[in-house]
Amino acid sequence: MVRTTSKRLTCPACQVVVADAVHQRWPADLRLRAPDGTRIAPTRVSILLELARREQATAAALPDREAAAARVAFLTRHASELVYELVCPQGHLTLCTMPQLVTAVRRTPGAWVTLPYGGR
């Protein structure tokens, strides 16, 4: 019998549902689906890093530059991991690694998980 855990992932900024997660312990699997039903796949860190660096270089306002710099730092720290870029309907962006998501899904009681803040 395969044992799975399902949770609804919410945006840390506004608490809106950004994805439904299903984690299976063995064989290991994590599946994310957006509220509209589309599957969410991890994005290559190199692509996200390039986009964050461009945003950091072109941002006009200081808060935007600081947010981009925080994303660059996060992506640099987690360059060898699978990273998900989750965007809520309000436009907030959250970056999470697969290990962060698996830990949150496995350890958080209840059906809802507020994602760790890692975006704009």
Cα distance between residue 92 and residue 120, in whole Å: 6
Cα distance between residue 120 and residue 13, in whole Å: 9
Other beta carbons within 10 Å of 72: 18
Looking at residue 118, its pLDDT comes to 56
Residue pLDDT, tens place only, 50-90:
999 999 999 999 988 999 999 999 999 999 999 999 999 99
Looking at residue 116, its pLDDT comes to 78
The domains of the chain are located at: 1-42+88-115, 43-81
pTM of the predicted model as reported, rounded to 2 decimal places: 0.86
Sign of CA dihedral 93, 98, 103, 109: positive
Cα distance between residue 54 and residue 87, in whole Å: 19
Looking at residue 3, its pLDDT comes to 87
Looking at every residue in the chain, the average pLDDT score rounds to 91
